[in-house]
Amino acid sequence: MAIKLKIDRQDVSVPEGTTVLDAAAEAGVHIPTLCHVPKVTSPGSCRVCLVEVEGARTLQPACVTPVMEGMVVRTHSKRARQGRQMSVELLLANHPWDCNACVRNGQCELQTLAQTLGITDVRFPYSREEIPVDTSTPAVVRDMNKCILCRRCVAVCQDVQDVGSLAPRARGFDTVIGAGAGENLCDAVCVQCGQCAAICPVGAIYEQDAIEDVWRALDDPEKHVVVQTAPAIRAALGECFGLEPGTSVTGKMVAALRRLGFAKVFDTNFTADLTIIEEGHELLTRLKTALVDKGEVSLPMFTSCSPGWINFMEHFYPGLLPNLSSCKSPQQMFGALAKTYYAEKEGIDPKDIVVVSVMPCTAKKFEADRDEMMDSGFKDVDYVLTTRELGRMIQEAGIDFMKLPDEEQDSPMGMSTGAADIFANTGGVMEAALRTVYEVVTGRELPMEKLHVTPIQGLSGLKEVALTFEKCQPDWSFLEGVTAKVAVAHGLSNARKVCDMVADGEGGYHFVEVMCCPGGCIGGGGQPRMTTDEVRQARIKAIYTEDEGRPMRKSHDNPAIDQIYKEFLGEPLGHKSHELLHTHYQAKAPA
C-alpha cells in the first residue's frame, strides 16, 4: 500500500514500511547518518538523522521511523538542525581532537559531518580516559579512544560474517566495543577479514600499515623489490583518486607501481592461473580416488585462496579441514616462486629479493605472517599493502594517477588470462576452474555463453550449478556421465550454512568455492570505503569486462604457466609443487 506524506513541503508517495530516511532520499533529500548502513545495520543509536515530525513531541531518528499516512516531516528546520548538531557535538566531546595525525584525516565520516553541519566549536569538555591501542594482530589495529559506539563493526562481525568477535562491553558511559573475552583482538576468535575496518566511519579500526616497511625496502639499494597485485585491485584502486567504482585501472596501476620504484611489476593473476592448474588436478585426483579406486577421500573439496575463510575453518570447522584444497593462495604461491624460480632465473640471491603484495584484504597480512609460509627458505611474502595503502603511497609520492599512461606487467610472472581476473569476485574461482577442468576432461570448451557460468555469478549468498561430463577424453573416461555439483558461497554467514550442510552430509557437492568477504575479494576489508552492494556490482562488472577483453581466457592457455612447469615445477601436483605451492591447515582454539 502506498503511503502519502510531505517532506520539506514536497508530496511524497512511498510503499508502507519505508523509513522517513528512505522516503526523503526518494524525494532527493539527503539526511545525514552515522550508525545506519543499508543492508547491514540500523540501530537508531547515533541520533544524527534527527528530523522534526509535526505533532511529535521529540525529534525522530529518520533511519528507524516508518512513514505514516499524512505525516509532515521537516528535515532541516531549526529544531532538526540543532538536534543533529547536538548529537554530533556530544560525539566530538568524547573523541580525541588529533584529526591531523589520524589515519582517517580527510576521510572520516565524523569529521565530514561536523563540517557539513557547521560545527566549529564543541561546548562540552573532552573527558575520556586513555585506552591502550590494540596492535596485537598483523592485520587490524583497534584504537578504541576514537570509537563512537556506532556498532557498525559489531553488526558486520556478528551478522554479516557470523564470527562475533566484537561486542559491546559494560554499559552507559563505560561502554566500549570489546574483542572476545580478553583485552585485545589476538585474544578473540577473529578471522582477520577487516570488514570491521572497512565499515568503521572513523579512525577506530584500520589495517596494520605496511607503508613505511615498503618505503624502507624500496630505498635499500641492496634489495630487489618486486610487487604482485591481486586481481581485485584493478577494479577498485581508481576510487582512491575519485574515479567511479568499477573503473578498471590496470595499466595506470602498473605505471604507478613502476614509478614508486618496484624493480618488477608482476601479477598475482599469474599464480591465480597456476592455482587453477594445481587445484583442478587436485579435484580430479580426489574424484578418481572416490569413483575409481573407491578410496577414502574428502569431498566436496573446498577452495583455499581466501585466508579469512581458512581462519574461519580452522576455528569453527576443524573437522572439515581435510576438505580444503591443499593449494596455497595465489599470493603465497607467488611469494614462494619469486624467491625460488624467479631468483634462479634472474641469478638474484633470494635473500635480496623483497616480495610486496597489494591485496584487497587484511587477512592477507595475517596469511603472509603464518609460520608455514616460508617454503622458499625465506618469508615468502615480505609485506602486504591493502588497496587503500597503495592509494596513500601513490598520493604521498606525488604521482598524478590520472595522467599516467597504461603500462604492461613484466614477464614471466606478470602474464595471465581472463580466468585469473575473475578470481576477484564471488563465483570467479569456480568459473575459472570449470573452464579448465571441463576442457581437460572432455577436450572441448565449456558449453556456456562467453564461457560464463551464470548460475554462480551475482550476489546471491549461496549459488550452485550442476555440470554433466560427456564424451570424455580417454584418461578421464571414469567421469563419463558424471554430474558434478558445485556450490559458491561468499560472506562467512553463507560459508557457515554450506559448512553445516556438508557436515550433515547434505548438498551432494563435489566442489565448493568460498570467499570470506561479501562479493568476494572485490568487497575485501582492504578496499576503498564504502563497499555497498552497488559498488560490489560495479567492480564485478569491471572484472568481467576485463576478462572478456582478453586474448586468453582459460588458465591452461597461459604460455607462462607451461613455461614454469617445463623449466622448474615439472608437473602439476609434482614434488616441487608440493614443496612450494601446497600447505596444510591446523585446528585452532574453538569459538
Residues lying near ligand FES in the complex (CB under 6 A) are found at: 33-36, 44-49, 61, 63
Closer residue to ligand FES, CB minimum distance, 392 or 529: 529
Given 52, 109, 239, 282, which residue is catalytic?
A: 282
| Structure-block grid coordinates of residue 96 | 580525541
CA distance 310 to 223: 32
Q: Alpha-carbon distance 26 to 30, whole Å?
A: 9
CB of 143 to ligand FES, least distance (A): 21
- In terms of CB distance, is 45 or 136 closer to ligand FES? 45
Q: Cβ of residue 428: shortest distance to ligand FES, in angstroms?
A: 34
Please say if 571 is a catalytic residue: no
The 3 state secondary structure assigned to 357-425 is: EEECCCHHHHHHCCCCCCCCCCCCCCEEEEHHHHHHHHHHCCCCHHHCCCCCCCCCCCCCCHHHHHHHC
Helix (H, G, I), strand (E, B) or coil at 268: helix
Minimum CB separation of residue 109 from ligand FES in Å reads: 11
Beta bridge partners of 169: 176
Least CB distance from residue 70 to ligand FES, whole Å? 23
Is 372 known to be catalytic?
Answer: yes
Out of 364, 365, 463, 554, which one is annotated catalytic? 364
The least distance separating ligand FES from the CB of residue 78, rounded to whole angstroms, comes to 20
- Hey, what's the cell of 14? 512511498
Rounded least distance, CB 149 to ligand FES, Å = 11
Q: Is 279 assigned a catalytic role? A: yes
Q: How far apart are CA 27 and CA 50, in angstroms?
A: 17
* Given 26, 344, 372, 445, the catalytic residue: 372
Nearer to ligand FES, 200 or 415 (CB): 200
User: Residue 204: how many CB atoms within 10 A of its CB?
Assistant: 26
- The residues near 113 (Cβ < 8 Å, ≥ 6 apart) are 32, 34, 48, 88
408 as an active site residue: the answer is no
CB of 84 to ligand FES, least distance (A): 10
The residue from 42, 87, 165, 325 that is catalytic is 325
Distance CA 137, CA 543 (A): 31
* Nearer residue to ligand FES within complex by CB, 65 or 306: 65
Q: Is the Cβ of residue 81 or residue 392 nearer to ligand FES in the bound state?
A: 81
Choose between 19 and 195: whose C-beta lies nearer to ligand FES: 19
Minimum distance of ligand FES from residue 160's CB (angstroms): 18
Pair 89, 95: CB distance under 8 Å: no
| Shortest Å, Cβ 140 to ligand FES | 24
Catalytic residue among 49, 150, 193, 521: 521
Spell out a b/e string for 19-49, using b for 16 or more CB atoms within 10 Å of the CB, else e. bbbbbbbebebebbbbbbbeebbbbbbbbbb
Cis omega (within 30 of 0) on the bond before 415? no
Let me know: does 268 contact 228? Beta carbons within 8 Å: yes
Rounded to an integer, what distance in angstroms lies between the CA atom of residue 497 and that of residue 256? 41
Choose between 175 and 395: whose C-beta lies nearer to ligand FES.
175
Report the distance separating Cα 62 and Cα 85, nearest Å: 15
Residue closer to ligand FES, measured from CB, 56 or 397: 56
Dmax over CA atoms of the chain, in Å, equals: 80
Catalytic residue chosen out of the listed positions 63, 190, 305, 499: 305
Of the residues 52, 109, 314, 367, which is catalytic? 367
Closer CB to ligand FES, residue 33 or residue 165? 33
44 vs 261 by CB, closer to ligand FES: 44
Between the two ends of the chain, the Cα-to-Cα distance in Å is: 45
What single DSSP character describes residue 298? -
Query: From the CB of 62, what's the least distance to ligand FES, in Å?
Result: 6
305 is known as an active-site residue: yes
Which residues lie below 8 Å from residue 115, measured CB to CB, with a gap of 6+? none
Amino acid at 384: V
521 a catalytic residue: yes
d(CA 236, CA 240): 8
268 CB-near residues (< 8 Å, 6+ apart): 228, 229, 230, 231, 330, 331, 334, 357, 359, 420
Which of 325, 107, 245, 310 lies closest to 522, judged by CA?
245
From residue 126, alpha-carbon distances to 85, 89, 92, 129 in Å are 17, 11, 8, 10
Nearer Cβ to ligand FES, position 8 or 209? 8
Are the C-beta atoms of 490 and 361 separated by less than 8 Å? no
Helical residues (DSSP H) of 33-191, grouped into ranges: 78-93, 109-116, 152-155
- Judged by DSSP in three states, 439 sits in helix
Active site residues: 279, 282, 305, 325, 364, 367, 372, 521
